[in-house]
Structure 1
């Protein structure tokens, strides 16, 4: 068995004296692990840093085996990411989200979103937007997609202000005001349009909403807790992107 693909480094763990087990999110083979001989060498350590994009060749006698990987760099982004604690925390969070997926389950959409998000982490506002969209897409992939395009109660779709914590559907300001204390905020960055830059309050609302559904549908049922990097990276995004005036 053998294939070649592009992959984003999620993490590594030591294996023996000189090798590592590499974890990648690949373009067409899903989240995949493999043994890299000499992975602890000086040359490969620089390549096998979280966030880097690599070309990978995987081979094994049987498909179910761990297999061996050889890698070549395509985009070495780790050096740039290391200049920002926020960016490093964001990569850790994205990797934690990716590990919620079954191993080897092909998902080119999430790979593309992951690649795009990491490539913009040096720009706090764009990185925050990408991370939020990745969380929304991850919820959908795990079977808990949010319906944020129209009002669940029949109100105006152009004045969405809340999200139902029970159904994950959007609610208009008119229909939701009487129950505002029981509803989640509608992510303002969705109202602003795809290319608009969020302010600090927008970010707080957006991550509060996705965090609620991750806790309810993903982390708690799996006996998991919110990744340590998540509150840290959200706070860092907010510090780097103060409220607009």
Structure 2
């Protein structure tokens, strides 16, 4: 069996003396692993770095086998991202998020968004906003999507300011005011695809997504917020004054 696809490298691990097991997010075949023979060679190592976009040929005798990859470069992003702590931790965060999905489960929308985020990971002014939008999308793909289309209490589609921690639905400012201390803040930029956000709004958005990741994903699986996500938020705070939220469940 074989297929050809493009993918973005998430990571590698050693296999034997000379080979490597490559983990990629592919456009049509989801998160996929495969063996790269000679993957630890000096020639192959620069190619097999996280963040690089590559062309892949996968072959295996049976579909359930690990299989082997032949890899060719498309965009070598790793060299550009290497000097930025924000980019490194951001990439690790994205890879960790994608590992929450079943292996080989296609998510073409996430793949396209991943490529867009990686293009801007070394720009802290854009990276935080893009990563948190990715988290909103991932929650939806995991089956825990937020309903930000209208107020849960009144059906209004205007002045949405909060999210209910119980239902994950938006709440208007007037309807949520009596319970504002129990509500999660809904930054307005999450409602508008093209709207830019300041550091404070991005921090509030990470509190929002962090709360629902903790409730629906981390706690049921018995672990806390990944270290890479905490480190990414720390890097954002250093580069973007005003981003003081920690992204965890304490926002509730």
TMscore range, shorter length: over 0.9
The CA distance in 1 between the partners of 2:8 and 2:202, in whole Å, is 26
Deviation at 1:155, TM superposition (A): 5.9
Q: Does 1:78 align with 2:78?
A: yes
Instruction: Please name the residue that 1:203 is paired with.
Output: 202
The CA distance in 2 between the partners of 1:45 and 1:83, in whole Å, is 18
What is the TM-score with the length of structure 1 in the denominator?
A: 0.95
The CA distance in 1 between the partners of 2:24 and 2:190, in whole Å, is 30
SS of equivalent to 1:43: coil
Instruction: Please name the residue that 1:7 is paired with.
Output: 7
SS of equivalent to 1:61: coil
Deviation at 1:63, TM superposition (A): 0.4
**Contact 2:57–2:69 at 8 Å: present in 1 too?**
yes
Instruction: Please name the residue that 1:89 is paired with.
Output: 89
The CA distance in 2 between the partners of 1:81 and 1:195, in whole Å, is 24
Instruction: Please name the residue that 1:213 is paired with.
Output: 212
Alignment map for 1:11-50 (pairs within 5 Å): 11-50=11-50
Instruction: Please name the residue that 2:172 is paired with.
Output: 172
Deviation at 1:243, TM superposition (A): 4.4
The CA distance in 1 between the partners of 2:203 and 2:131, in whole Å, is 13
Once the two structures are overlaid, the 10-residue window that deviates more, 179-188 or 68-77, is: 179-188
- The aligned length equals 243
Once the two structures are overlaid, the 10-residue window that deviates more, 156-165 or 142-151, is: 156-165
**Contact 2:22–2:35 at 8 Å: present in 1 too?**
yes
Once the two structures are overlaid, the 10-residue window that deviates more, 50-59 or 196-205, is: 196-205
**Contact 2:133–2:190 at 8 Å: present in 1 too?**
no
Name structure 2 gaps, 5 residues minimum: 244-252
The CA distance in 1 between the partners of 2:54 and 2:122, in whole Å, is 19
SS of equivalent to 1:149: coil
Instruction: Please name the residue that 2:151 is paired with.
Output: 151
Name structure 1 gaps, 5 residues minimum: none
Q: Does 1:69 align with 2:78?
A: no
Alignment map for 1:103-142 (pairs within 5 Å): 103-142=103-142
The CA distance in 2 between the partners of 1:155 and 1:179, in whole Å, is 17
**Contact 1:189–1:198 at 8 Å: present in 2 too?**
yes
The CA distance in 1 between the partners of 2:135 and 2:173, in whole Å, is 24
**Contact 1:155–1:174 at 8 Å: present in 2 too?**
no
Pair 1:35–1:57, CA change in 2 (3 A):
same
